[in-house]
A = this chain, B = another copy of it.
Amino acid sequence: MMTPDRIEFPTCPVTSFQHDRVMLAHGEGGRLMRKLLRERIAPAISCGNAAISTGIIENDAATFTVNDGDMAITTDSYVVSPLFFPGGDIGSLAVFGTINDLAVSGADPLWLTLGLILEEGLPFELLDRILLSIGTAAKRCGVSIVSGDTKVVPKGVLDKIFINTTGIGRVRDIGSLGSHRLHEGDAILVSGPIGHHGIAVLAAREQLGLNPAPRSDCAPLHESCRCLHNALGRDLHAMRDATRGGVSAVLHEWSEASSHTMKLRESLVPIAPNIRGACELLGLDPLYVANEGTFVAAVSRSAVTRAIEVLQNLDVSRHATIIGEVTKKQSAPVIVERLLGIWQPLDEPSGAPLPRIC
């Protein structure tokens, strides 16, 4: 039977009305939600495109026309803490991270969806900064945000804001990229110095006081991936952005999927002195630290020079370099020649979790 004394009704929105922050009623499908969509979300992320703006406000499915062909789709949730860190924020990360998953799959990014989950009481000032960052990042990549959803949960149910983006792109040459195309003798490249994102977020979250503060490498990779793919054609075998688990996670996945051993030389891996120093202090191996604007590629040995040339010509990958090679299967999936000349197996990432890094 009814036990009305146990019902906890939410605070009345009239008495708790606040002009400067998100309220539960902003997620309730009514007037306040439409106001939020119309006045804050749509203007920030639609970059003036009225059709997109309408699609987001009307909360319908968005429609788009496709031509025959192969499409790629990927989804990612972003829970990074803190929301803002040197070199990026949860908004730019949510756009670039998903763009990069398409980019390394050999797809040109076209559309994004945006799912926001907001904590009641989130200051509009914070939300606006994040939305602006999302809109700016999407514009920079030439993608449209075609559909969105906004939920508001009571204070304490989540920490401030989580973002989901789903990305759709057009595949340039289906089947041309992937771990199935790795060959013995392939060169392994990285597009830039590693470890920046993970260390930047950790340093910001734990207020490590490093001076200068490490900056995330958070950046879109679609242009460098496309240029590399176009220049190398089928000599480009696989690409992967080195996010959670870092370069080590990529190489372990490739090893398992291809039954080859990945061989690295630590002396070849580009690591900035401040990142190396921070890793030593924190007891972290930079090969395991997340990146958000750096990818690993495997290319035919004969195409290495061209690959490096193409990548170094672009700002985002100007420090691209060879770090190792694909070899026939050995006792360990990934082996690394350490700075002192000793070859060691590189363990697969499993422990030492760095939560909320992306």
* Residue contact A77 to B29, C-beta cutoff 8 Å: no
Please give, as numbers and ranges, the residues of chain B lying within 8 Å of A320 by CB-CB distance: none
For A77, give its contact among B14, B60, B61, B115 (CB under 8 Å).
B115
Interface of A is mostly: mixed
Of residues 135 through 169 on chain A, the ones whose CB sits less than 8 Å from some CB of chain B are: 146-149, 151-154, 157-159, 162, 164, 166-169
CA distance A101 to B60 in the complex (A): 7
* Residue contact A153 to B79, C-beta cutoff 8 Å: yes
Q: A7-B208, A74-B61 are in contact. Are A30 and B249 (CB under 8 A)?
A: yes
* Residue contact B61 to A102, C-beta cutoff 8 Å: yes
* Residue contact A244 to B63, C-beta cutoff 8 Å: no
For A73, give its contact among B31, B64, B355 (CB under 8 Å).
B64
Q: A30-B348, A77-B151, A350-B25 are in contact. Are A206 and B244 (CB under 8 A)?
A: no
Contact with B along A91-124 (1 / 0, CB 8 A): 0000000000110110100010111110010000
For A245, give its contact among B4, B6, B28, B355 (CB under 8 Å).
B28
* Residue contact B355 to A101, C-beta cutoff 8 Å: no
* Residue contact A154 to B13, C-beta cutoff 8 Å: no
CA distance A160 to B87 in the complex (A): 31
A71 at the interface (CB under 8 A from B): yes
Q: A1-B209, A245-B30 are in contact. Are A76 and B115 (CB under 8 A)?
A: yes
Q: A64-B70, A158-B158, A174-B63 are in contact. Are A13 and B353 (CB under 8 A)?
A: yes
Please give, as numbers and ranges, the residues of chain B lying within 8 Å of A63 by CB-CB distance: 70-73, 105, 107, 171, 174
Please give, as numbers and ranges, the residues of chain B lying within 8 Å of A154 by CB-CB distance: 355-356
Contact with B along A327-358 (1 / 0, CB 8 A): 00000000000000000000011111111100
CB nearest to A170 among chain B residues: B66
CA distance A353 to B114 in the complex (A): 23
CA distance A9 to B298 in the complex (A): 34
Contact with B along A15-52 (1 / 0, CB 8 A): 00000000111011111111000000000000000000
* Residue contact A208 to B105, C-beta cutoff 8 Å: no
Question: Would you give the shortest CB distance from A175 to chain B, in whole angstroms?
Answer: 9
Please give, as numbers and ranges, the residues of chain B lying within 8 Å of A30 by CB-CB distance: 244-245, 249, 252, 348-350
CB nearest to A177 among chain B residues: B60
Q: A68-B67, A79-B157 are in contact. Are A7 and B206 (CB under 8 A)?
A: yes
A69 at the interface (CB under 8 A from B): yes
A305 at the interface (CB under 8 A from B): no
Q: Beyond the given A33-B244, A34-B253, could you list 6 further A-B residue pairs with CB under 8 A, ordered by the A residue number?
A: A60-B240, A62-B73, A74-B149, A75-B148, A79-B151, A164-B164
| 23 A-B residue pairs with CB within 8 Å | A1-B209, A1-B210, A2-B210, A3-B208, A7-B206, A10-B352, A10-B354, A13-B350, A28-B349, A29-B245, A58-B253, A60-B105, A61-B101, A61-B102, A61-B104, A63-B174, A65-B71, A66-B67, A73-B166, A74-B149, A117-B162, A162-B162, A166-B166
